[in-house]
Amino acid sequence: MEGLKRYWPLLLIALGLIGGIMWWQDKRAEERRVEEQLAQAQGIVRVLSATFSNKAALKVGEINGTLDVTVVDPGAVPILRSSQKATVPYSVGYTLNLSDVGADDYRWEPAARTLTIRVPTVTAEAPNVDEANRAVAGTSGIFVTRGASANLARRASQLATAKAGEVAAEPANLAKAQQNAEKVVADLARTPLEAAGLGPITVRVITPAAGVRDGERWDVSRSIEQVLADRPR
């Protein structure tokens, strides 16, 4: 018993040293894990920044159809007043500007291997009116001059363009374009990430129209840029 008491301080020191070594090993393992995650996050930012940098007008959808319009040319005098009904084909494309997506717009979850990307709102392009295929349903007027016919065609094109813009701006059409943008961007991002050896990765795309999902609040997450900024030098 007396012998054990004599060596007890040495045993305590040994246990302390073993505990310290284990703590240091755990700390180094955690530091290496963080380093690997940060390196992976940096790789993701580099790959996608290169992929998105030239995508200022990525097409993510299109609507098309025909519009029935009725236009009037007042003429120089009442007797020259004329009107026309026409059916005008149109199309409107939707684009997404990915060149503005920065490091703060990525969220990387290493454990789930999930990348969330925040992208801008889609925008509708200028409507394209197919005047060559405009179908005239009828023209009325006592005397329709060549100039009046040109004016009627121009007015029909202008009115169809305005109406096409209104159709493109309808919430249902914008929402569909946003949903399609999510799929297009996810596919665009996944390919280079897997090619760079970072896959398989789940890619989620958040657009302003999507709002909050799965109980998450975007503004309380730490972006890759913030994590890198807090990294010990």
211 vs 154, residue with greater confidence: 154
Mean pLDDT estimate for the chain? 76
- pLDDT of 81 reads 79
What is the pTM (predicted TM-score) of this model? 0.69
How many independent structural domains does the chain possess?
1
200 vs 140, residue with greater confidence: 200
- pLDDT of 219 reads 40
Q: Answer yes or no: is pLDDT of 231 > 50.
A: no
- pLDDT of 56 reads 76
For residue 217, the enclosing domain spans 2-229
Q: Answer yes or no: is pLDDT of 121 > 80.
A: yes
Query: What percent of the chain clears pLDDT 90, i.e. is strictly above it?
Result: 25
Q: From 92, 97, 169, select the one nearest 126 (Cα to Cα).
A: 92
pLDDT digits (tens, 9 = 90+) for 18-46: 666 666 555 555 545 545 545 555 666 67
- pLDDT of 164 reads 96
